[in-house]
Structure 1
Amino acid sequence: MTSTQLTPRLADIVKAYDVRGLVGSQLTPAVAHALGWAFARRMAAECGARAVVVAHDMRDSGPELSAAFSRGVVEAGLDVRSAGLASTDMLYFASGSMHLPGAVFTASHNPAAYNGIKLCHPGAGPISLSTGLAEIRDEAQGLLDGDVPAPRGGGVVSPVELLPTYARRMHDLVDLRGIRPLHVVVDAGNGMGGLTVPAVLDGLVRVDPLYFELDGTFPNHEANPLEPANLVDLQRRVVEVGADVGLAFDGDADRCFVVDEGGAAVSPSAITALVALRSLARQPGGTILYNLISSRAVPELVTRAGGVAVRTRVGHSFIKAEMARTGAVFGGEHSAHYYFADFYKADTGMLAALHVLAALGEQEGSLSELVASYAPYAASGEINSTVADVQAVLVRLRMWARSRGGVVDELDGVTIDLGAGRWFNVRASNTEPLLRLNVEAPDTGDMEALRDEVLGIIRG
């Protein structure tokens, strides 16, 4: 086997919007070095960048990989602002406030064996395969394969401290002073929320911490609150201590999930609606983005409040592009990614959490009472099915929908509106033979009946 055959193939780990791979086999210091060099060259050529801000999360491989990436940046002739430990939204804050391209080493909620890189343009602008990531990948592959001369740049590395200024920015955006006392349980999942939550919330609310120790082996549960099993500890603690609210952050703390005082998970669509209405109170008539698997309650409430609701595809690059195009003040996804115009159009779980705490603390009712009007419909949540022929299933669904008089929309996957508040979306996974189903209806009985009928078509 030749050395070229042993060289990691970047096409396996450079995804649509980021880098994600197994440490030691797919993502190595050599790979990180090559990607740092290629990223810096691209940023210098594209936007005249002279420095890159680099950070990493709590995974054991983060310091070595980020150091190798930084060496690549320096050898490309750019300086490095080294931020050390940081959440993803801290990296976006650094990129936005310093107007520098950025890179944070994180695999978000993936298991401990993985790491990755989230990259951004200056001002926290998104990077995807169609906006430079493919070229970065190919140039880095050339360096790994020995097709280009070894780089010898002259940049320097200097430290930068982000946490205090990040916390101040959060406090400037949502002021919790003057709200009623709140008891908040926070499950950081041994991820970066263990760093950011104390800096932002201490002294403003009573924080009951769960798994704040930074540990990239995730000894308690996966740092993926989208999976119901990973919310169980938070739900139990909220009820045991009589807390007002529970918050769960994913590994890199760019997503936040909410649990009410009774331990029930609050739909991210309800949080989208809540934050949207708060945003519209500040900027009447503003535009709000929501992705197409969000509850129909979101556009209804936004329109009722005098705002403009714009439906988007699923995925942060689409949301951020639409924010730039429409001048939207806020955007939400049903995956609990929340995007703020006043936070560089970037997503941040912390700012969404602050809005929830402010809304709760500014009135006397419980969280379940507060969000009831934001979640009037019954939803299935996302249901995955393994199928042999994705396209054949989608054809069957379109035919079935038309036989029922359904309206078919193909903005992202297939969305079928059957009227009377009954609709569903089916999207294919980009990486696996999976179909992802989301169903909504006016009540639980209608939703379950529609869910089961559609699953019968998908799995039959």
Structure 2
Amino acid sequence: MQLSPSIFKAYDIRGVIDKTLDPSIAKLIGQSFGSAMREMGETICVVGRDGRLSGPSLMAGLTEGLLSVGVNVIDLGVVATPMVYFGTNITIEGQQAKSGIMITGSHNPPDYNGFKMVLGGSAIYGDQIQALRERIVEKNFASEQGTRSEHNIFPEYLQRIVGDVKLKRKIKIAVDCGNGVGGAFAGRLFRELGCEVEELFCEVDGTFPNHHPDPAHLENLQDLIKNLQTTDNELGLAFDGDADRLGVVTKTGEVIFPDRQMMLFAKDVLSRNPGAQIIYDVKCTRNLATYVKQQGGVPLMWKTGHSLVKAKLKETGAPLAGEMSGHIFFKDRWYGFDDGLYTGARLLEILSAEQDPNATLNQLPNAICTPELQMPCAEGEAFTLLDKIKAEVAKGTQATFETAVSVNTIDGVRVEYADGFGLARPSNTTPIVVMRFEADTQAAIERIQAEFKKVFLAVKPDAKMPF
């Protein structure tokens, strides 16, 4: 198979099985990543895979590539992505691996798969991922032979969480894993914490026969909502395909999106880390910054992307970060990587101290907002379009946001108004502009959208606006 540049994304490597990804490509990725490790003086790599049908063959190819450049591979088998990250933070049988690769297609359709990577203790993204491609093209590989061993990491991972998170009382929960790999671990973890657990679609099945494992989309939460309406379960937790993201549903059927979950986590974390920074991405509600300030913290808005947020967390030393997509990063009591299972445990710890967990969740500040809206673009066009708009903003021309209070351009344009905000940013994974709007009233949302429409049509008259 020819190496396709299209698989090297902003935060990971991802492709379609037998079209852009197969074991021979996985081997090349192993050789490239392993050679980059060797240049850093690293020789041990933990690897794991999710429940996708293509996982075993890609694992075989990847392992062959890593071994061929002198890397010692610790095979964790079928695990959640956070367990690979965990493996780069602990000593395994006397060995300390600072690098790891998870084979996962996350929430993509069944015929996708890919690689999430930690190199020398840091998540890699952007130019570092492109450098792996260049190394393959140049065949700039080390040449030695490594060794392979197997390790079951779940007992250590489980013990680490159960030893840290303490519930004040037993909570009855429903857990929906959408047949993703989290299903192999979630029930056991939450029972060990002292919960009563009803499992929905927790059999790991890479064809995802029931619904897609992506809690960011409401249609994938309907089974959980129905369960809570018809049982005495108090709370619903949903996980994406590789269990690094969490979705939360209350007894009344309300979905608590991650930017509102972050309020609870920020309050808890700031009680032990007064005055600390709390990082959140550009998609999050305005209410989060206000809430963080009220709790004595310092809100810091940052770019979207789990690798980018992780890097910012490391750089700033902040104890907590979160993204609207559901990636939550605890450095407080944990390691600073995104972990849906651990996030679920921390949520239950907070709610177990509340008389009425659902009231606590439902009372979190809320606003009228749109879901993510997508404007289709040609390949690469989303970036040039946003660059044009940023240039117009810098010049202060007529094609800008006339009624705005401020415009933030760290990731696309996030335009703040007295009564709301609008966001337009280029997706790093698909050729679209992602838009989101929030305001105090529906009329204000429509006014903000009208201004966005005017600005976009001024630079792209044939733009297909998603509203």
Q: CA deviation digits over 1:334-354, x for unaligned, max 9?
A: 111101114322111112111
| Aligned mates of 1:222, 1:285 — CA distance in 2 | 39
SS in 1 for 2:89: helix
Deviations 1:175-210 (A, max 9, x none): 22xx22211111101001111202311241111111
Displacement after TM superposition at 1:45 (Å): 0.8
CA distance in 2, matches of 1:239, 1:448: 33
State the AA in 1 paired with 2:54: S
Q: Deviations 1:23-69 (Å, cap 9, x if unpaired)?
A: 123111111111111111111111x1121111111011111211221
Structure 2 residue corresponding to 1:28, chosen from 18, 22, 28 = 22
Q: What is the percentage of aligned positions where both structures have the same residue?
A: 30
Match of 1:404 in 2: 403
- The partner residue of 2:176 within 187, 201, 205 is 187
Of 125, 129, 132, which aligns to 2:126?
A: 129
1:310-356 CA distances to partner (integer Å, 9 max, x unpaired)?
Answer: 11111122212211221100001111110111432211111211122
Q: Which amino acid aligns with 2:177?
A: A
Stretches of structure 1 lacking an aligned partner (at least 5 in a row)? 1-6
Question: Does the 8 Å CA contact 2:110/2:206 hold for their aligned counterparts?
Answer: yes
Task: Go from structure 1 to structure 2 and tell me whether the alpha carbon gap of 1:433 and 1:110 turns closer, same or farther (over 3 Å shift).
Answer: closer
Tell me the residue number matched to 2:191. Answer: 202
Per the TM alignment, residue 408 of structure 1 is displaced from its structure 2 partner at its CA by: 2.1
**Aligned residues: CA RMSD:** 2.3
Task: Quote the Cα distance in structure 1 between the aligned partners of 2:363 and 2:295.
Answer: 13
- After TM superposition, give the deviation of residue 119 of structure 1 in Å: 0.8
C-alpha separation in 2, matches of 1:404 and 1:293: 20
For 2:241 and 2:178, the matched residues in 1 are separated by 7
Instruction: Give the conservation status (yes or no) of the 8 Å contact 1:181–1:205.
Output: yes
- Tell me which moved more, 193-202 or 103-112: 193-202
Q: Does 1:77 align with 2:70?
A: yes
* Mapped partners of 2:243, 2:314: distance in 1: 24
Counterpart position of 1:247: 237
Q: Distance in 2 between matches of 1:329 and 1:387?
A: 37
The alpha-carbon deviation at position 447 of structure 1 amounts to: 3.3
Which stretch has the larger CA shift, 326-335 or 426-435?
426-435
Classify 1:392/1:59 alpha carbon distance in 2 versus 1 (closer, same or farther; 3 Å): closer
Greater Cα shift, 133-142 or 71-80: 133-142
- SS of the aligned residue for 1:20 comes to strand
Q: Secondary structure of the equivalent of 1:263?
A: coil
TM-score normalised by structure 2 residue count: 0.89
Match of 1:371 in 2: 361
- Relative to 1, partners in 2 of residues 1:122 and 1:387: Cα closer, same or farther, differing over 3 Å? closer
Quote the residue 1:231 is aligned against. 221
Deviation (angstroms), 1:449: 5.1
Could you tell me which residue of structure 2 aligns to residue 116 of structure 1? 114
* 1:105 alignment counterpart: 103
My pick for the range that moved more, 351-360 or 158-167, is 351-360
Query: Larger deviation: 284-293 or 329-338?
Result: 284-293
1:288-299 to structure 2, matched below 5 A, reads 288-299=278-289
TM-score (norm 1): 0.90
C-alpha contact (below 8 Å) 2:399/2:454 kept by paired residues? no
Whichever residue aligns with residue 446 of structure 1, its letter is A
Which of residues 3, 7, 15 is equivalent to 1:13?
A: 7
Match of 1:265 in 2: 255
Distance 2:435 2:57 in 1: 39
What CA distance in whole angstroms lies between the structure 2 residues aligned with 1:384 and 1:282?
39
2-side partners of 1:174 and 1:351: how far apart? 9
Q: Which residue of 2 aligns with 1:171?
A: 162
**Structure 2 match to 1:346:** 337
Counterpart of 1:39 in structure 2 is 33
Q: 2:300 aligns with which of 286, 303, 310?
A: 310
User: Is the CA contact (8 Å cut-off) linking 1:34 and 1:141 kept in structure 2?
Assistant: no
Distance 2:402 2:12 in 1: 41
For these two proteins, the number of residue pairs brought into alignment is 442
Alignment partners' CA distance in 2, 1:302 and 1:359: 17
How far has the Cα of 1:133 moved from its partner?
A: 2.2
Deviation at 1:249, TM superposition (A): 0.3
1:385 and 1:135, CA in 2 relative to 1: closer, same or farther beyond 3 A? closer
| Cα distance between partner residues in 1 of 2:401 and 2:69 | 56
Separation in structure 2 between the aligned mates of residue 405 and residue 237 of structure 1, nearest angstrom? 43
TM-aligned CA distance change 1:303 to 1:92, over 3 Å: same
- Counterpart residue type for residue 158 of structure 2: A
Residues 379 and 439 of structure 1 are in contact (CA less than 8 Å); yes or no, is this contact kept in structure 2?
yes
Q: Residues 455 and 238 of structure 1: is their aligned pair in 2 closer, same or farther, counting only changes over 3 Å?
A: farther
SS in 1 for 2:185: helix
Aligned to 1:62: 55
Q: Per the alignment, do residues 256 and 449 of structure 1 end up closer, same or farther by CA in structure 2, a change over 3 Å counting?
A: same
* CA pair 409-386 structure 1, distance change in 2 beyond 3 A: same
Matched, 1:156 2:147: yes
More helix by share: 1
